Structure 1
Amino acid sequence: VRARGSDVAAGDLALAAGTVLGPAQLGLLAAIGRGTVTVRPRPRVVVLSTGSELVPPGTELAPGRIHDSNSYLLAACARDAGALAYRVGAVEDDAATLRATLEDQIVRADAIVTSGGVSVGAYDVVKAALTGLTGDEGRVEFRRLAMQPGKPQGFGRLGPGRIPLFALPGNPVSAYVSFEVFVRPALRAMMGLEPPERPVVRAECAEPVGPSPKGRRQYLRGRYADGRVTPVGGAGSHLVGALARADALIVVPEETTSVPAGAEVDVILLD
């Protein structure tokens, strides 16, 4: 025998707005007789890499080829943010092929994330394919931002549904940092989750850092523990090994060119 109202009484708030619905929450909704509730669905994120040099992991590398790591990296980032990720195979450096791929994928996308092809090289296919869109095609703009890594960036909306597109750089660390800084907060906001950003703490830097380019905000990989952060690897945007060992990003402000050991820095916690 259970007393009426001993679990959830009439007038009680059962679930606050913004609550993520897991097994227990769904059980509660069913227990109080709610057949339907209004929710924000997990956004569907289409992820694709660009580059004729890319081949799938598990494929033997020919001269001038590299394995496609970005699409796996960014799809995992999207899932970690709470989204549903759809990874598309690498698209070659051809503007028409890229536009056709985007047209095929946009019907199942709430957001699109691309990597590569946004700088000033001869094969920057994303920039070439999406610059100058008008009307129902959408609009995408490309900028050079005061940050390292991740200087070249693109953002816009595609198609009549104005699906947001994030065009990230091609180096894997640049793509990862750009996702954390720009894409993850956007996806979390689409789901109504608070806070949308990763937590930021102040920590003592265990080792000196520098030189850092003046005028750019630098994001360095680090390991955080007990109020201290230790840099991991160098500043190169290709160093995925160091990224895999990191659980934090050390933020060096735009006007700071070096950080001495023992100084306090802002640290973005990734784990």
Structure 2
Amino acid sequence: VRARGSDVRAGDRALSAGTVLGPPQIALLAAVGRGTVKVRPRPRVVVMSTGSELVQPGESLADGQIFDSNSFALTAAARDAGALAYRVGAVADDAETLRSTIEDQLIRADLVVTTGGVSVGAYDVVKEALTSLGDPDEETGVAAGGGVEFRKLAMQPGKPQGFGTIGPDHTPLLALPGNPVSSYVSFELFVRPAIRTLMGLPEVHRPLTRAQLAAGKALGSPAGRRQFLRGKYDAETGTVTPVGGAGSHLVAALAHADALIVVPEDVTSVEPGTDVDVVLLG
């Protein structure tokens, strides 16, 4: 025999908006007699990489080919952010193939993420494919599927970026650069907040803290760009140590980092012992 109201009293707030519903929360809803509750479902995110040079891990590499790491990394990152993620195998550098692949995936996508083909190279077909998906109707002048805009952002890595909506339901799409570190940093800065906003969560960004740059060499950064360098954060000492170089292809350095060191646009050199902003990953 339990005392009436010893668990939840009449008039008490059982759960607040924005609460993620796990087993205990669902048990509480049932215990207070709520048969239904309004929720935001986990967004469905489709991830696809582009590039005729990409080969799936486990297959043999020929000259001029590399393994596709981006689609695996971004799919895992989307799941870590709370989404239901679907990975699509690498799409060749053909605008029509890419366009039809994206259109086929829209049926199960609340958000589409592409990686690669957004720069200015001869084989960067993502711009061509996605721009035409948003072309205006000849009679109405309105783009039935929205449209994707491409810009060069004042950041490193991750300068080329694309964003817009496609398809009849105006599904949002983010087009990220193809270099592995660039694509992951771009995901953390732009895609992860979008996913968590769709989920209705109050905290959409990674935690940001201040840390002292550990002893070693000074960090250089190009003028006019906000740089995000990989680092290892030590909470006990309040310091952060750079990991690897600034190259956007250095996946090994990224794998050993747990933070991003932020160097502002107007700073070209950071000496050891200087306090810097640090984005905490994981």
Q: Does 1:175 align with 2:186?
A: no
Quote the residue 1:251 is aligned against.
262
Quote the residue 1:51 is aligned against.
51
The Cα shift of 1:184 comes to 0.6
Quote the residue 1:129 is aligned against.
129
**Amino-acid identity (%):** 72
The Cα shift of 1:209 comes to 3.6
- Structure 1, residues 1-51: CA drift from partner, whole Å, max 9, x if none? 101110011111000010000111011111111111000000000000000
Distance 1:256 1:209 in 2: 12
Distance 2:9 2:24 in 1: 18
Distance 2:57 2:146 in 1: 33
Quote the residue 1:157 is aligned against.
165
Q: How many residues align?
A: 271
Quote the residue 1:145 is aligned against.
153
Distance 2:41 2:124 in 1: 34
Tell me the TM-score normalised to structure 2 length: 0.95
Quote the residue 2:97 is aligned against.
97
The Cα shift of 1:205 comes to 0.4
The Cα shift of 1:239 comes to 0.3
Matches within 5 A, 1:1-271: 1-132=1-132, 133-134=134-135, 135-206=143-214, 207-226=216-235, 227-271=238-282
8 Å CA contact retained: 1:153, 1:168: yes
2:150 maps to a residue whose letter is: F
- Structure 1, residues 218-253: CA drift from partner, whole Å, max 9, x if none? 000000012110000000000000000000000000
The Cα shift of 1:160 comes to 1.7
Distance 1:268 1:80 in 2: 16
The Cα shift of 1:195 comes to 1.3
The Cα shift of 1:137 comes to 2.7
Distance 2:218 2:56 in 1: 35
Structure 1 unmatched ranges of 5 or more: none
Distance 1:211 1:237 in 2: 15
The Cα shift of 1:60 comes to 1.1
Distance 2:202 2:256 in 1: 27
Distance 2:61 2:146 in 1: 37
SS at match of 2:75: helix
Query: What is the aligned-residue RMSD (CA, Å)?
Result: 0.8
